[in-house]
Structure 1
Amino acid sequence: MSETKLSIVDLTKRYAAGLDPAVDRLNMQVEEGHLVALLGPSGCGKTTTLRMVAGLMDPTAGSIVVDGKEITHTPVNKRGMGMVFQSYALFPHMNVEQNVAFGLQMRQTPKAEQKKRVAAALDMVQLGHLGKRQTRELSGGQQQRIALARALVVEPTLLLLDEPLSNLDAKLRETMRTEIRSIQQRTRATTLFVTHDQDEALDMADRIAVMNGGLIEQFGSPTDVYERPQTHFVANFIGQANFLDVTIISETGPAPVAAEASYKVDVEGLGGFGAVGAKGLTGAHELVIRPHRLKVTLTGEGHDALKGTIERVSYTGDALSVAIAVGERSFNAQLLTTSGDLPRRGDTAYLSWAPEDAYLLPAAAPGKAS
């Protein structure tokens, strides 16, 4: 089992008395060699958290521990961390090699060692041939990789990435997130990565901290937070989701996942369905079904299928996003495109799902007793 590299304990940041805290008693442990994504909307506290870990901002309360040593009030230049900013912050008057060597110079590393480590860092990001190039002559993706090399060359205790891909176009972002993850896994650099992009977090991270209002709503693997969200916010923020208010009728037995149970639930106006969730749930809850888990046919297959009307069809090449009205409710489904006829607006459709794909949120539905 990996050792804990970073411990954050009750970390709090208030900018002014009377205002809600930007970060509110945040607790998190990061294992050695892991990449952890701080994911959430603008203003949720993720960048503030990263800046406090880096030493660029003083916390109001709480503690930060790295390798068993508290560094909460250690100056930024004594923390030994590497940081890649959203703007990359490369020095325009220095060439590529000089930019990468800057941190080593500040640490008074011998020149021979500097040369060796700079060359290794540039080779790692596949830009060794551009060492003498001026930074203004580089593309956005190249600048991003130089900033990453500059952060890694000092062999940091932690690598901190503050939305480093946000200035790149969509295709390059996809390429660079693969490269960053590959480099991180090769170097085993323990990394905190701030992003508001759910795809980046799901693709790159070992663990995701989903933040909202200065709090961590859920901390877990990408599979955990997507397949088993613990709150409505997490289910709604990560991916797309259909929500149904249900009443639990009975617990019917074990589920495919050992810690869960199978349930019979009732949806007002639609009838009874199977679902899974944590053991011991009763009363009113929210049911979450991901759009790609819904089965849609035009022929009425399945005795439990709901009959509805297609309201919208959105074509994205390899998939269709379909909105289906069932009574007063609307369901969103995702279908793979085929060579056959595609559903059209106004078509009658039949909707069903497997019980194991309908997940009960652990908390009771808002405003309802459990």
Structure 2
Amino acid sequence: MDKLSLVGLTKQYAQGIAPAVDRLDMSVEEGHLVSLLGPSGCGKTTTLRMVAGLMDPTAGQIKVDGADITNTPVHKRGMGMVFQSYALFPHMNVHENVAFGLQMRKKSKSQQDSLVKGALDMVQLGHLSKRPVKALSGGQQQRIALARALVVEPTLLLLDEPLSNLDAKLRETMRTEIRQIQQRTRATTLFVTHDQDEALAMSDRIAVMNGGLIEQFGSPTEVYERPRTRFVANFIGRANLLTVTIRGEETTPNGDSRYAVDVPGFGVHHAIGEAGLSGERTLLVRPHRLSVSPAAPGSDGIIGTVEALSYTGDSVSYSVRVGEHLFTAERLTSGPDRMSQGDRAVVSWQADDALVLPESTEE
């Protein structure tokens, strides 16, 4: 059953300007974590604030468990929210911060103590219950904010870029912890982020937003491996994108199609895609699926020059210039034939490593 349903949700701040959120439809299954992912200004935080009741929609409906809560006051929605700044009360200690929502719900002192202990143990900070929040690290404050949101057993857990103030290593640790806590509690969660790695690592489903619209809604695997638009392909992970013309199609055993595509300046190559595509389309090859090797005398194929390379420990990223196009390819550092800047290189791909996007270049 869908825990949350957004139906035609729209927010327009003023007449004559594009809506911040434009007729958005989305459903979130109970127990799932769904990420709203996109660049700044795409409407993801506006959507979250309308769900929370902190902002009124211009049009559309917000339903929880099938009931319309569009006009329900924020304090009656029973939602838990973790803000980017955590919004902890600096004059209270850890226990008092977590207990605050329970006090507002008129829970008895014994109930508060029991529930707060359980929430702090859940985030592994029970030993800090009497510590002032100002004496906590950023990661500890983030976990306290999460405990405060979960202790009231919210109808929905809303997370607004809660990891953005942490350093890179701590972000990685905390996203794992948040996901584990969410899966243990089965709290239906709406998570706002502009970080693709967070969305891919934490989500059951991802809504990729652009210009107030959802460009694609699917599992992490779907949006990464099978993006439906050029925007999604370019925003989720790194991408080599080429404009191609389809010259032929044959059906594969799994129901996909294998296409012959004309790549301007590079000849005819092959790729897979959903059936029935034609005309001018976008071809996607992820850097880790693009083969790059030193060009030997007499080499055939797409030949260019290594313009730059970036060593990241496990892999080396090569930028290969071929005419006006710059290909990006990744290779493991343990692989043979390391290349240097200025070397001649051949780039290629297998048909199964390239995807023709459904979106027409004319759309």
**TM-score scaled by length of structure 2:** 0.97
Offset of residue 326 of structure 1: 2.1
* 1:195-215: CA deviation from partner (whole Å, max 9, x where unpaired): 000110011011000001100
Offset of residue 366 of structure 1: 3.9
2:104 corresponds to? 106
| Distance across 2 between alignment mates of 1:198 and 1:13 | 25
| Distance across 1 between alignment mates of 2:149 and 2:3 | 18
1:76 corresponds to? 74
| Distance across 1 between alignment mates of 2:71 and 2:172 | 37
Contact 2:251-2:275 at 8 Å conserved across structures: no
Out of 318, 330, 335, the residue aligned to residue 322 of structure 1 is 318
* 1:279-298: CA deviation from partner (whole Å, max 9, x where unpaired): 11111111011011011111
Unpaired runs of 5+ residues, structure 2, are: none
Query: How many percent of aligned residue pairs carry the same amino acid?
Result: 69
| Distance across 2 between alignment mates of 1:362 and 1:22 | 26
Unpaired runs of 5+ residues, structure 1, are: none
Contact 2:5-2:28 at 8 Å conserved across structures: yes
Out of 232, 239, 242, the residue aligned to residue 240 of structure 2 is 242
SS at match of 2:130: coil
Q: Give the 3 Å change call, closer, same or farther, for CA 281–301 of structure 1 in structure 2.
A: farther
2:340 corresponds to? 344
1:295 corresponds to? 291
* 1:211-243: CA deviation from partner (whole Å, max 9, x where unpaired): 011000000011111111111111111111111
The farther-off stretch of 187-196 and 293-302 is: 293-302
Offset of residue 365 of structure 1: 1.7
Offset of residue 111 of structure 1: 1.6
Offset of residue 348 of structure 1: 1.3
Offset of residue 342 of structure 1: 2.5
| Distance across 2 between alignment mates of 1:176 and 1:302 | 52
* 1:22-74: CA deviation from partner (whole Å, max 9, x where unpaired): 10000000001100000001111000000000000000000000011110000
1:354 corresponds to? 350
| Distance across 1 between alignment mates of 2:299 and 2:350 | 12
SS at match of 1:5: strand
Q: Which runs of 4+ in 1 moved over 3 A?
A: 299-305
Compute the RMSD of aligned alpha carbons. Answer: 1.6
| Distance across 2 between alignment mates of 1:99 and 1:329 | 55
* 1:239-288: CA deviation from partner (whole Å, max 9, x where unpaired): 11111111111112216xx3421111111221111111111111111101
* 1:288-346: CA deviation from partner (whole Å, max 9, x where unpaired): 11011011111559987422211111112221111112233221111111275631011
Contact 2:294-2:337 at 8 Å conserved across structures: no
| Distance across 2 between alignment mates of 1:25 and 1:297 | 48
Contact 1:310-1:344 at 8 Å conserved across structures: yes
How many residue pairs get aligned? The number is: 363
Q: Given residue 38 of structure 1, which amino acid in structure 2 is its aligned partner?
A: L
| Distance across 2 between alignment mates of 1:30 and 1:326 | 44
Q: Given residue 317 of structure 1, which amino acid in structure 2 is its aligned partner?
A: G
